[in-house]
A and B are shown apart, each in its own frame.
Chain A
Amino acid sequence: MTLEYSTAQPAGLLAVKAKGITRHFDEHVALDAIDLEMREGEFVALVGKSGSGKTTLLRILAGLDSPDGGTLLVPEARTVVFQEPRLVQSKRVWRNVNLGLRRGVANKTTAEEALRVVNLEHRVNAWPATLSGGEAQRVALARALVRQPKLLLLDEPFAALDALTRLQMHQLIRELIERFTPATLLVTHDVDEALLLADRVIVLRDGKLATEIVPTDPFPRHPVGPVFTETRRNLLGELGVEI
Chain B
Amino acid sequence: MTATITPVDVNADAAQAADPTLLPGLVVPRFRRRHKRNPLVGIALRVISIVAVIALWWLEARHVGDPERLPSPLVVYHNFGFLFSQKDLWGQIGISLTRSVKGLVIGATLGFILGALSGLTATGENLIDSPMQLLRFTPFLALIPLFITWFGLGDKPKIILISLACATPVYLNTANAVRNVDRRVVEAARSFGLKRLRLLKEVTFPLALPGILTGLRFSMAVSVLALVAAEQINANSGIGAMMLTAQGNLNTQTVFCCVVLYMSIGICFDAIIRVVEALSLRWRAGVSVR
The reply to whether the CB of B191 lies closer than 8 angstroms to some CB of chain A is no
Give bound CA distance, A27 to B30, whole Å: 25
The reply to whether the CB of B4 lies closer than 8 angstroms to some CB of chain A is yes
> Interface code B11-44, partner A: CB below 8 Å = 1, 0 otherwise?
0100110010111111111111110000000000
Please tell me which one of the listed residues B12, B22, B34 contacts residue A66 in the complex, with CB atoms under 8 A apart: B34
Min CB distance B22 to A, Å, is 5
Q: Which of A86-141 contact B (CB under 8 A)?
A: none
The binding surface of chain A is classed by DSSP as mixed
Min CB distance A109 to B, Å, is 26
Task: Say whether A67 contacts B8, CB under 8 Å.
Answer: yes
Task: Say whether A73 contacts B6, CB under 8 Å.
Answer: no
Give bound CA distance, A63 to B25, whole Å: 16
Give bound CA distance, A74 to B28, whole Å: 6
Given known contacts A73-B10, A74-B26, A76-B25, is B3 in contact with A24 (CB within 8 Å)?
Answer: yes
Task: Say whether B23 contacts A150, CB under 8 Å.
Answer: yes
Give bound CA distance, A22 to B28, whole Å: 15
Give bound CA distance, A24 to B34, whole Å: 13
Task: Say whether A63 contacts B29, CB under 8 Å.
Answer: yes
The reply to whether the CB of B134 lies closer than 8 angstroms to some CB of chain A is no
Task: Say whether B9 contacts A71, CB under 8 Å.
Answer: yes
Min CB distance B37 to A, Å, is 16
Min CB distance B13 to A, Å, is 11
Min CB distance B285 to A, Å, is 16
The reply to whether the CB of B287 lies closer than 8 angstroms to some CB of chain A is no
Task: Say whether A71 contacts B10, CB under 8 Å.
Answer: yes
Which one of A10-18, A171-179, A198-206, A210-218 contacts B? A10-18
Contacts of A66 in B (CB 8 A): 8, 31-34
Task: Say whether B28 contacts A72, CB under 8 Å.
Answer: yes
Task: Say whether B26 contacts A17, CB under 8 Å.
Answer: yes
**Minimal Cβ-Cβ distance residue in A for B30:** A63
Give bound CA distance, A72 to B12, whole Å: 9
> Interface code B237-268, partner A: CB below 8 Å = 1, 0 otherwise?
00000000000000000000000000000000
The reply to whether the CB of B275 lies closer than 8 angstroms to some CB of chain A is no
The reply to whether the CB of B1 lies closer than 8 angstroms to some CB of chain A is yes
The reply to whether the CB of B52 lies closer than 8 angstroms to some CB of chain A is no
Give bound CA distance, A65 to B33, whole Å: 8
Min CB distance B279 to A, Å, is 25
Task: Say whether B6 contacts A69, CB under 8 Å.
Answer: yes
Give bound CA distance, A233 to B161, whole Å: 76
The reply to whether the CB of B143 lies closer than 8 angstroms to some CB of chain A is no
Task: Say whether B32 contacts A73, CB under 8 Å.
Answer: no
Please tell me which one of the listed residues A12, A24, A40, A74 contacts residue B27 in the complex, with CB atoms under 8 A apart: A74
Min CB distance B288 to A, Å, is 16
Please tell me which one of the listed residues B8, B24, B25, B33 contacts residue A72 in the complex, with CB atoms under 8 A apart: B8
Can you add 19 more A-B contacts, CB < 8 Å, to A72-B28, A73-B22?
A13-B22, A14-B21, A15-B23, A17-B22, A27-B1, A65-B31, A66-B8, A67-B8, A67-B31, A69-B6, A69-B7, A69-B8, A70-B6, A71-B8, A73-B15, A73-B16, A73-B28, A75-B23, A75-B25
Give 13 A-B contacts (CB < 8 Å), ordered by A residue.
A14-B21, A15-B26, A22-B3, A40-B23, A63-B31, A65-B31, A65-B32, A66-B32, A69-B4, A69-B8, A70-B6, A71-B10, A73-B12
Which positions in B face A, CB cutoff 8 Å?
1, 3-10, 12, 15-16, 19, 21-34
Which positions in A face B, CB cutoff 8 Å?
12-15, 17, 22, 24, 27, 40, 60-76, 150
Which 3 pairs from chain A and chain B are nearest by CB? Answer: A63-B29, A66-B31, A69-B6
